[in-house]
Amino acid sequence: MPRERLSMRSIREVLRLRLEKRLSTRAVGRACGLGRTTVAAYLYRFGASGLSWPLPPDLDDETLEALLFPGPPEVADAQRPVPDWADVRQELTLKGVTLELLWREYRQENPDGFQYSWFCERYREWTGKLDLVMRQHHKPGEKLFVDYAGQTIPVYDRRTGAARPAQVFVAVLGSSRYTYAEATWTQSLWDWTSSHVRAFEFMGGVAEIVVPDNLRSAVDRPHRYEPEINRTYLDLAEHYGVAVLPARVRKPRDKAKAEVGVQLVERWIIAALRKRMFFSLDEVNAATRELVGALNDRPFKKLPGSRRSHFEATERSALGALPAERYVYAEWKTVRAGMDYHVEYAQHHYSVPFAFVKEQVEVRATANTIEVFSRGKRVASHRRSPEIGGHTTIDEHMPRAHRSYRGWTHAKVREWIAGVAPETAATAEEILESRGHPAQGLRSCAGLHTLERRYGADRLEAACRRARKLGVNTLRSIESILKSGLDACEIVAAADEDEPIQHDNIRGAEYYAADTTSAERSA
């Protein structure tokens, strides 16, 4: 079994490509960035789980994980899997790694595996075939090769005369070589996915596999055997039900059809337009459509018919149907929910249920919506806001105490003050006026209302009266008075410090005044 467990999203993709798209385990591994034995291990777990494909729509990632990984790893069966020789060859390029070491590691993972002599013999047979060139024959509807032309088409500004290069996207079906091309301003993720959508619609269907190059918009981290597909690109693939199988790094034969298609587009379209001046992208694409039609109608030199005739005769019917709804472009971002149970996207904050505080979640953003996913399950959905620095909050996402405070506006506070006893109302007014920020006053008044519900209006009135007499009319003081029951006690008036104390043994001011007069006379 695999040493490290993948995310459930990756495991779902393995199951989809193998069970729905009927790809081989090696092809699934290349598409998902996994070794063939790893793919086989996950398929084995799926078979042992008792599940069937397609998975139930309400089966979330947590339940699926429990079914696929019910407990400690099971003992391997008596099957002897064939090693992934490409991985073996890659490991042998490392210093100190030998065939014997790799065989020992293989036997540790597969105790019933093949012996060392078989291991060495089969590996040498595999390496002996590496230099053979395999002529690729693609069955109709199997693969669509996509890439950008190396050359660009200049588009001029009518006012300044400055030229801006337009990129040329090319898509070629593997069997009929039916070709699509269009110009876009950039090779960005938005233009890349939008070109795919228009290419699918041009073909009138989708191939089983899309084969891109390892450009940034398709692959986040290129690797000869384990490329990591961009999340938005994978989202597009899932929407159209296709598998993405990037060409291996430095393996031009993997994308030979694309390179031939790009070469033809450069010769028959870009070169043909070299003397024309274009002042908008629409003008470029109008001219490109005409030349693409001519290219597809151009007769083959060594075969009967043309790209279009072969497409209509054999490949159109083999393509998968387009989905009912067009793909909506979405960007994905992995974020962590803050202590205020909000996630940030494009400098705006959106709420998630407070149970996800400090958890890592995925944000899927379209032009109109923001969706938040945790372990493949949607936990929040919002209308996208253009406000910078603002907050969009759903009451149900808040803790109960926060929801209670959120409803307190100035209008509601004034309405509440008008209906309470005079000492309570006076205390609330003083609190509102004494706070440095209006929000602080609202929070304190919300606290007074909570005390009223907890202790009753009469006790709150008595506590406010006592607090105001003592000059400590703060929410904390009032709450302390109520907790200790002092609201039921009378306040003992303190003696007036200005009133003189009367006693026979205490001389008054008159005594000292008379004494002073006698002294003056004697002097």
User: In degrees, to the nearest 5, what angle opens at C-alpha 20 toward C-alphas 18 and 26?
Assistant: 20
Would you state the pLDDT for residue 506? 57
Would you state the pLDDT for residue 34? 85
- Is there a single domain that holds both residue 157 and residue 180? yes
- Is there a single domain that holds both residue 111 and residue 200? no
Would you state the pLDDT for residue 517? 45
Would you state the pLDDT for residue 474? 83
Residue 4 pLDDT more than 50? no
Mean pLDDT of 297-324: 87
Would you state the pLDDT for residue 114? 82
Residue 31, in any domain of the structure: yes
Provide the residue range defining the domain that includes 208: 143-318
Would you state the pLDDT for residue 220? 46
404, 434, 453: which is the final residue of a domain?
404
Residue 477, in any domain of the structure: no
Dihedral in degrees, nearest 10, Cα atoms 77, 83, 87, 89: 150
- Is there a single domain that holds both residue 20 and residue 68? yes
Would you state the pLDDT for residue 195? 94
374, 404, 434: which is the final residue of a domain?
404
Average pLDDT, the chain: 79
- Is there a single domain that holds both residue 104 and residue 167? no
Residue 394, in any domain of the structure: yes
Instruction: Say how far apart CA 180 and CA 189 lie, in whole Å.
Output: 19
Residue 299 pLDDT more than 50? yes
Count of domains in the chain? Answer: 3
Would you state the pLDDT for residue 520? 45
Mean pLDDT of 373-400: 85
Q: Which of 130 and 387 is assigned the larger pLDDT?
A: 387
Instruction: Say how far apart CA 273 and CA 266 lie, in whole Å.
Output: 10
Helix (H, G, I), strand (E, B) or coil at 242: coil
In which band, very low, low, confident or very high, does the pLDDT at 316 lie, cut at 50, 70 and 90? very high
Most confident among 19-23, 252-256, 308-312 (mean pLDDT):
308-312
Most confident among 58-72, 74-88, 446-460 (mean pLDDT):
446-460
Residue 126 pLDDT more than 50? yes
Which element (helix H / strand E) includes 370? strand 369-374
- Is there a single domain that holds both residue 66 and residue 88? yes
In which band, very low, low, confident or very high, does the pLDDT at 382 lie, cut at 50, 70 and 90? very high
Residue 512, in any domain of the structure: no
Residue 189, in any domain of the structure: yes
Would you state the pLDDT for residue 179? 93
- Strand 377-383 versus strand 331-336 pairing type: unpaired
- Is there a single domain that holds both residue 149 and residue 56? no
Mean pLDDT of 178-206: 93
Would you state the pLDDT for residue 78? 47
What angle in degrees, to the nearest 10, is found between the helix axes of 8-15 and 36-49?
90
Q: Which of 117 and 242 is assigned the larger pLDDT?
A: 242
Would you state the pLDDT for residue 510? 56
- Is there a single domain that holds both residue 277 and residue 356? no
Question: pLDDT by residue (tens digit) across 67-116?
Answer: 887 754 333 344 578 888 877 876 776 667 788 888 888 888 888 788 88
- Burial pattern 370-379, b for ≥16 Cβ within 10 A else e, equals bbbbbbbeeb
147: domain CATH number is 3.30.420.10
Which element (helix H / strand E) includes 413? helix 410-417
Residue 1 pLDDT more than 80? no
Mean pLDDT of 458-473: 88
Residue 505, in any domain of the structure: no
- Is there a single domain that holds both residue 314 and residue 349? no
Percent share of the chain, pLDDT over 90: 20
Residue 489 pLDDT more than 70? yes
Half-sphere exposure (CA, 13 Å, Cβ side) for 228?
6
Residue 469, in any domain of the structure: no
Question: pLDDT by residue (tens digit) across 89-99?
Answer: 767 766 677 88
Q: Which of 87 and 177 is assigned the larger pLDDT?
A: 177
Question: For the chain, what is the total number of helices (H) and then of strands (E)?
Answer: 19, 15
Would you state the pLDDT for residue 31? 87
- Is there a single domain that holds both residue 165 and residue 310? yes
- Is there a single domain that holds both residue 279 and residue 376? no
Would you state the pLDDT for residue 497? 47
- Is there a single domain that holds both residue 69 and residue 101? yes
Mean pLDDT of 4-9: 68
Phi, psi for residue 111 in degrees, rounded to 5: -55, -25
Question: pLDDT by residue (tens digit) across 273-295?
Answer: 888 999 999 999 999 999 999 99
Indicate whether this model's pTM tops 0.85.
no
Residue 89, in any domain of the structure: yes
Residue 518 pLDDT more than 70? no
Peptide bond into 54 cis (omega under 30): yes
In which band, very low, low, confident or very high, does the pLDDT at 450 lie, cut at 50, 70 and 90? confident
128, 157, 188: which is the final residue of a domain?
128
Q: Which of 292 and 501 is assigned the larger pLDDT?
A: 292
Instruction: Say how far apart CA 209 and CA 141 lie, in whole Å.
Output: 9
- Is there a single domain that holds both residue 23 and residue 71? yes
Nearest to 92 by CA among 80, 100, 82, 83: 100
Could you tell me which residues are beta bridge partners of residue 169?
A: 148, 182
Instruction: Say how far apart CA 189 and CA 234 lie, in whole Å.
Output: 12
